[in-house]
């Protein structure tokens, strides 16, 4: 059989979203595939999808009935929550795959956009999440993601959306942009580092380093919180032969049963957002230049969608 | 969210912002990817599809780790 091409893969996932949207499910492709669409090309084969948390059942039913070259959908890993409103709304991700002879089409589904400061559902662009949502999601613990955030920020400004100012983390680009266009005061209030632009303050360089370090640590701590709470659930799922059944419904039932006993629904809420921020700041203080954390933004508003 | 074109976005400013973006992309992604990112969508997608297909034929693994949470 011919290898499945990336074009076919993309058409498959776009078709899946279109089918879900036709059933009234609010969902959108995000991350790498969205970056390609917005002009910040990223070589990614898998698909990340946002799904309204109250549509988990319809989403699962659709996955059950959707095949790729005859292959049925199944859960991709023992690690990963069941696709169920209770865990989706707590920020968990469900992993799926259509397995062919020597390759797979992988899909990650989640209901809460990490670092989202506005509801992602309110501004999807067709089959895709908005450029603003995707840019916020790129503030990860991985340095390689940050140039994509900056690129998407510039794209937003070029489209006339001032929120682009919130996503640019390159000192030179910020200064060049500030020489051309105004930065609204309400955005400076949201992101204090922008206040250094008007006077071309030389501290801008270290302020940006501090800001990036803080966001990276925030993501690092967030991921650790989820990882630490998932262990006993994974062991139970792994031991249960139903988890690897040939049909998705049985796999799902097994995961739900174990999750109800062992998987906290909302580990970030249990951990505490304030504590998360404090720990991230403390870690950033060890890594970032002295004094560089003075201009950090208020991040409590970046958990929109998470039931906290 | 539909965005009204602001007054400051004149054709001259648009041109300059485009230049800033292009120069930045060359700096962080290299000339080839910057060029690709400024292609029309269909051409851009075709290039990326070919790039990924080629890499997979050469054995590059794209699979992401399943963590139960999204970065």
Q: Is residue A163 part of a domain?
A: no
Contact criterion met (CB < 8 Å) for B20 and A41: no
CB-CB neighbors (< 8 A) of B9 in chain A: 160, 181
pLDDT at A85: 97
- Please compute the mean of the pLDDT values over residues A195-218 and round it to a whole number: 97
d(CA A181, CA A143): 28
Residue A26 belongs to a domain with what CATH number?
3.30.460.40
ipTM of the modeled complex: 0.94
Phi-psi sector, A209: left (phi>0), alpha (psi -120 to 50), beta: alpha
- Partners of A162 in the β-ladder: none
Report the domain count for chain A: 1
Q: Is residue A78 part of a domain?
A: yes
d(CA A250, CA A307): 28
Chain B contacts in chain A segment 66-95 (CB below 8 A): 76-77, 79-81, 91-93, 95
Task: Give pTM, 2 decimals.
Answer: 0.96
Q: Is residue A24 part of a domain?
A: yes
Contact criterion met (CB < 8 Å) for A154 and B70: no
Instruction: State the DSSP H helix or E strand holding residue A29, giving kind and residue range, or none if neither.
Output: strand A27-30
- Geometric angle at alpha carbon A120, from A107 and A271, rounded to 5°: 80
- Please compute the mean of the pLDDT values over residues B9-33 and round it to a whole number: 97
Contacts (Cβ under 8 Å, ≥6 apart) of A144: none
What token pair was written down for A248?
């998705």
- Please compute the mean of the pLDDT values over residues A90-108 and round it to a whole number: 94
Closest by alpha carbon to A125, among B69, B11, B2?
Answer: B2
Closest by alpha carbon to A137, among A19, A276, A268, A33?
Answer: A33
Distance from B34 to chain A by nearest Cα, in Å? Answer: 8
* Residues A260-274 pLDDT 10s: 999 999 999 999 999
Cβ neighbourhood burial of A215 (10 Å; 0-12, 13-18, 19+): buried
Q: Is residue A34 part of a domain?
A: yes
Among the partner-chain residues A43, A80, A122, the one whose CB lies closest to the CB of B51 is A43
Distance from B58 to chain A by nearest Cα, in Å? Answer: 13
Domain encompassing residue A48: 6-110
Q: Is residue A44 part of a domain?
A: yes
- Please compute the mean of the pLDDT values over residues A208-216 and round it to a whole number: 98
Q: Is residue A229 part of a domain?
A: no
Among the partner-chain residues B9, B38, B67, the one whose CB lies closest to the CB of A223 is B67
Distance from B21 to chain A by nearest Cα, in Å? Answer: 6
* Residues A164-187 pLDDT 10s: 999 999 999 999 999 999 999 999
Q: Is residue A31 part of a domain?
A: yes
* Three-class SS state of A283: helix
**Arithmetic mean of pLDDT over chain B:** 92
Is A114's Cβ below 8 Å from some Cβ in B?
yes
Residue carrying structure tokens 């060359």? B26
Q: Is residue A102 part of a domain?
A: yes
Q: How far is CA A124 from CA A150, A188, A220, in A?
A: 20, 25, 27
pLDDT at A308: 65
Q: Which of A36, A164, A259, A276 best probes binding to B when mutated, by most B CB atoms within 10 angstroms?
A: A36
Tell me the pLDDT band of A1, cut-offs 50, 70 and 90: low
- Please compute the mean of the pLDDT values over residues B2-11 and round it to a whole number: 86
Closest by alpha carbon to A81, among A105, A104, A111, A36?
Answer: A111
Among the partner-chain residues B24, B37, B56, the one whose CB lies closest to the CB of A39 is B37
**Arithmetic mean of pLDDT over chain A:** 96
Q: Which of A2, A5, A6 best probes binding to B when mutated, by most B CB atoms within 10 angstroms?
A: A6
């Amino acid at each position: 059989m011919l290898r499945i091409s990336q074009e076919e893969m993309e058409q498959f996932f776009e078709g899946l979203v279109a089918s879900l949207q036709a059933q009234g499910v609010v969902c959108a492709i995000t991350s790498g595939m969205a970056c390609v669409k917005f002009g910040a090309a990223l070589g990614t084969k898998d698909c990340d999808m946002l799904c309204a948390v109250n549509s988990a059942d319809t989403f699962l039913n659709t996955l059950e009935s959707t095949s790729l070259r005859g292959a049925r959908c199944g859960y991709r890993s023992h690690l990963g929550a069941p696709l169920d409103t209770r865990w989706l709304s707590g920020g968990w991700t469900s992993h799926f795959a259509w397995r062919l002879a020597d390759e797979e089409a992988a899909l990650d589904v989640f209901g809460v956009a990490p670092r989202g400061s506005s509801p992602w559902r309110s501004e999807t662009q067709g089959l895709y999440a908005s450029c603003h949502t995707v840019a916020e999601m790129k503030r990860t613990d991985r340095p390689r993601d940050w140039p994509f955030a900056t690129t998407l920020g510039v794209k937003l400004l070029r489209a006339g959306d001032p929120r682009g100012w919130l996503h640019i983390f390159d000192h030179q680009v910020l200064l060049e942009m500030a020489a051309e266009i105004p930065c609204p005061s309400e955005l400076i209030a949201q992101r204090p580092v922008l206040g250094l632009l008007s006077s071309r303050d030389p501290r801008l360089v270290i302020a940006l380093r501090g800001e990036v370090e803080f966001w990276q640590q925030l993501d690092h701590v967030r991921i650790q919180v989820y990882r630490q709470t998932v262990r006993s659930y994974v062991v139970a799922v792994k031991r249960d032969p139903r988890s690897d059944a040939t049909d998705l419904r049985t796999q799902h039932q097994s995961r739900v049963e174990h999750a109800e006993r062992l998987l906290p629904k909302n580990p970030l809420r249990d951990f505490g957002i304030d504590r998360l921020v404090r720990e991230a700041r403390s870690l950033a203080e060890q890594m970032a230049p002295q004094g560089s954390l003075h201009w950090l933004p208020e991040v409590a508003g970046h958990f929109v969608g998470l039931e906290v | 969210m539909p965005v009204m074109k602001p007054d400051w976005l004149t054709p001259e400013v648009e041109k300059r912002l485009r230049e800033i973006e292009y120069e930045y992309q060359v700096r962080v992604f290299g000339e080839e990817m910057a060029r690709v990112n400024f292609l029309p969508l269909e051409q851009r997608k075709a290039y990326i599809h070919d790039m990924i297909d080629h890499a997979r034929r050469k054995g590059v693994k794209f699979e992401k780790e399943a963590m139960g949470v999204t970065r």
